[in-house]
Structure 1
Amino acid sequence: MPLILNFVFFRILRQRFILWHAAAVLAMLTQTLVSSGLINRFVRLSVTELCLLSTLSWAFMVIATLRFFIDLIEPETLTARQRFAVELLCPWFLFWSGYYFFADGVLLPSVAPLYYMSFLPIIATLLATIVLSALRGSRLVWFQIVGWTPLMLLGIARNLSILGLTDAPLGMMVEQHFAIAFEVAVTTLGVAERIMTIRLQRDHALAEARFQANLALHDPLTGLFNRRAIEEKFDTLLRTGFHTMAALDIDHFKAINDTHGHAAGDEVLRAVGRALAGDKDILTVRLGGEEFLLLLRGEDALERAERLRQAIPSRVAKEHTGLRKLVTASMGVYRLDMTCGHVPSFTEVYTACDELLYAAKAAGRDCVRSNVSIAPLPTTRLELVG
């Protein structure tokens, strides 16, 4: 089951430690089948073949487990020296596994003692690495501590038996089966924990990236779009019918800052932003300072832009009763002629719109200038320019 889960995990999150754990589990499964004799129910193997398979499965299990450990534990809790020390254990054990299987003649009496003694540096290095990782705050290392304890105790007991310090049986196969099963179960939980941590970190990073991207396209004071958000998509907006641009400038805004302070000025800007709040047919932009921009679509775009401009004084007065004068705005409105064949750039349209805005200011402010005529609205001073 853990072997199947590893492949499921890998499809969710393609991390190398999952493959190493799958390799370790496969090696442990092979070792259990060989050492328990269950493999004989499926295939007929000679003693030499069984010995080779057992040795290879142990070697592969140890090496895959070491590589899994290096990739699993949080990077910040293992130093480069510790990682290198654990990596050296892989060729070390591979050598002694080869010695265990191929040594013969006068070397034969030393095979078992040296092979089992080769586990001692592995256990000592892992114990030191585990302790240091735990002291550095690793959460995942505790899964390894719990999962590896039975196997490490088994290895120590076997070495003591080799040295004649205990009469414990060298094989202890039943204990080995339980220790392997326990290790697989616990480390699989560690894999699941690591995957959840990585996914949470990835989701947080994606959310932060989306937030930063959103921040880059919005004005932090009013929450409206900024110029970059509109300019980058201007061609697309034209194709979807946004053929009218309106530039607004708050009249005598400097006097508001000088009289009431910059905090009050910021509140006025926020109120103006709310007064100009758009919908699916109106995009509202703060260009900077006291200047705003509207992109509109529809046949009545000019009239709707003027209604929004006229809503500014009442909206600001309602939200800020301490102001001495009504806050008004001047506006320049430019409607594109899309039948002429020329598709203008954002800069071209904005420049024409800005000229109309300055014409409105020169005419006394609190009025509109446009390149086309519209039906006058109540209390509106609207004139045609050009």
Structure 2
Amino acid sequence: MDEDRAPDRRGGTNTLSARPRCAVAIVGGGLAGLALADELERAGIDWHLFEARERWGGRMQSLTVDGAAFDLGPSWFWSIQPRMRALAERLGCPVFEQYAMGDLLYEDDQATVHRDRGFASMAGSLRVDGGVKSLTDALAAELPASRLHPATPVRGVDRERGLLLADGRNWPAEHFVLALPPRIAASLTFNPELSPAQTRGLKGVPTWMAGHAKFVAVYATPFWRDEGLSGDAMSHSGPLVEIHDASPLSGRPGALFGFYGVPAEIRRDHPEALAEATMAQIERLFGPAARDTRHTCLQDWAFEPETASPDDRAPPTSHPEYGPLPAFSSAWDGRLLPGGSETARTFGGYMEGALERSAELAVHLSG
């Protein structure tokens, strides 16, 4: 076997078990992983990125209908989150404010609809025209294809042998960044094994929005706007507990999206009844025109194994307290680093948190 040699800062390799060696191996091709790869590439640091899915983006996924993209995962960011706006501007992805003009609808627990209750709850939030997945697609397109490894699941991490890939290969590296939800990272095997505190630290972090499902209904036009409605609706009857306008910047085609208040197991076991109840509710709220859809889609994140663990199927009732995992401050002499959005210091769980954590790790790995 060839001698193990340390990598250089820019694309060097070593021949441990005849495998390439890199400075940083990143596990997870969502926004956090891609943003870190982008930072390292611009800093001239050797990296490789591994993603289990065939696509990039993780929870940032879009449905495309008639040339318009509709977010199936996160949709919004806010003016207090500068990294997202800066990234969108750099990549040439237009940003616009959530549509918020018109009345709100409210459905009580008797399924009676009331109009003009409150205000547009997401007024002032920002969206990316073309969907937030356009950001991850653009990031991936700017990175060297030879360093990107989609459809390449990682089963474990060995400090000496490197990443243990599902196809039987090893990929040695100096540093390993787990740009994954911590609970998904906990499902990997580790050699040497993690300490009990480190394992508890990973498993104890809820994955933000992983237990939720999102329904999107696409129409030829946003007909509710002509009726003086914002597209916002809140319900104590369900199955959707909140609904919002999901139309693109041009307003064509129109779209509504909503979040379910139905437990994950019921969503899984009764899909046909759920679909019918969902359309009946939207018709109650927005009238007969709501039945005339161009396309509908239900994205249930609770059963996406790359996103959610079984523990995530009962989502937290409020935004968890996220942040760095203290037990990993010196894991494997600093070579094993959690890197998902849920480990960000100030915007954990959000897209901004993914960028924040990636920027922090890039500084650390460049030192």
Instruction: Give the TM-score category using the shorter length.
Output: under 0.3
Is the strand fraction higher in 1 or 2? Answer: 2
Larger Rg: 1
Between Structure 1 and Structure 2, the one with more helix by share is: 1
TM-score by length of 1: 0.21
Greater relative CO, 1 or 2 (CA 8 Å, sep 6+): 2
